[in-house]
A and B are shown apart, each in its own frame.
Chain A
Amino acid sequence: MSTLSRVGVVIADPVKPRRLPGVDGVWVAIGADSVIFAILFASFMQARLHNPAVFETSRHTLNMNLGGIDTLILLTSSWSVALGIQALKRDLVDQVPRYLLGGVLTGLMFMVSKSIEYFEKFAQGIRPATNDFFMWYFTLTGIHLMHVVFGTSLLTYLWIRSRRRAYSSLQRVVPECVASYWHLVDLLWIMIFPLLYLQRAA
């Protein structure tokens, strides 16, 4: 509430309307993707139920430090993109490209890190067919990596367009859609990382 003391009138601030960033269709896609990943997680856990010893032994071959660093990279990426949207809402269009570029670069860093991890595995003779754990490891991380590649491409497009001042507080539907998708990529990894790398056997 704010008060106009000179005239002694109390005026209610206008209530900020609730809204979804971007367009509704993107949220349907995000919801569907989240459900698909939840089903994949359940399938992984069901496979683990039948052979916990193999899953535990295989888990120890993963590079936990690299997985943790991947999480820090994606969180930083999400943060940078979120800052870009905040700048856009305030029409600070000069600042938007730098935040989007931060998202692009951290997306690329994640890809490099994941490539290093895959090369390590292949060098050790580990393949998706090695056992059930590695089939799931390559499936979950591979599908997620495809999301990262797609998201980084979209962010690159946004970055190029934002340098030409194509977006503003009134024209931010596309950046909001891409940002929402990019945050989905982040949150999926937040769950994939402990599922594969940190889940100890009893």
Chain B
Amino acid sequence: MSVLRERVTAVWLGLMVLTCVTTWGLSKDLLSPAVAVVGIFAIAGVKVSYVMLDFMELRNAPIPVRVAFQAWPVVVPMMILGFWFATSALA
């Protein structure tokens, strides 16, 4: 088995790059807080989605199960961002 040819390897590399972008890029003060926070949680959602689809193998799961689990990386970042903007508005 050639590790380099495995799809999970390409996904892992992508996830590592996205983590570096988030941790050592978007967290700095280069962008406005709103843009940075939206970017950080959007990327987190994408990362979770790929972990589910390719590491957990939900890509080949029955469609209803896949849809149910794929709701999590959409709903959770949106919920967090909803609170974040509400907190900013109240501050």
Residue positions of A touching B, CB distance < 8 A? 16, 18-21, 27, 31, 34, 38, 41-42, 45-46, 48-49, 52, 64-65, 67-68, 71-72, 75-76, 78-79, 81-83, 85-87, 90, 92, 95, 179-180, 183-184, 186-187, 190-191, 193-195, 197-202
Across chains A and B, the number of contacting residue pairs, with CB separation under 8 Å, is 142
| Residues of chain B within 8 A of A183, CB atoms compared | 51-52, 55-56
- 22 CB < 8 A contacts A-B: A18-B60, A21-B56, A38-B75, A45-B87, A65-B23, A68-B22, A68-B24, A79-B55, A81-B55, A83-B3, A83-B8, A87-B1, A90-B1, A183-B55, A183-B56, A186-B51, A187-B51, A198-B26, A200-B36, A200-B37, A201-B33, A202-B33
Alpha-carbon distance between A198 and B63 when the two chains are bound, in angstroms:
34
Find out whether the CB atom of A202 lies under 8 angstroms from the CB atom of B91.
Answer: yes
| Residues of chain B within 8 A of A81, CB atoms compared | 55
Find out whether the CB atom of B6 lies under 8 angstroms from the CB atom of A83.
Answer: yes
Q: Encode B33-72 as 1/0 by CB contact (under 8 A) with A.
A: 1101100110010011001101111101111010011001
| Residues of chain A within 8 A of B77, CB atoms compared | 191
- Pick the contact of A68: B12, B19, B47, B61 (CB < 8 A): B19
Residue of B nearest to A35 (CB): B72
Residue of B nearest to A90 (CB): B1
- Pick the contact of A27: B11, B22, B65 (CB < 8 A): B65
Residue positions of B touching A, CB distance < 8 A? 1, 3, 6, 8-9, 11-12, 15-16, 19-20, 22-24, 26-27, 33-34, 36-37, 40-41, 44, 47-48, 51-52, 54-58, 60-63, 65, 68-69, 72-73, 75-77, 79-80, 83-84, 86-88, 90-91
Determine which residue in B23, B75, B84 has the highest number of CB atoms from chain A within 10 A of its CB, and name it.
B23
CB distance from B17 to the nearest CB of A (A): 10
| Residues of chain A within 8 A of B37, CB atoms compared | 199-200
A199-B40 contact, Cβ under 8 Å, with A38-B72, A41-B79, A68-B19: yes
Find out whether the CB atom of B47 lies under 8 angstroms from the CB atom of A198.
Answer: no
Alpha-carbon distance between A92 and B15 when the two chains are bound, in angstroms:
26
A79-B87 contact, Cβ under 8 Å, with A34-B72, A198-B27: no
Find out whether the CB atom of A194 lies under 8 angstroms from the CB atom of B22.
Answer: yes
Find out whether the CB atom of A42 lies under 8 angstroms from the CB atom of B79.
Answer: yes
Alpha-carbon distance between A64 and B24 when the two chains are bound, in angstroms:
9
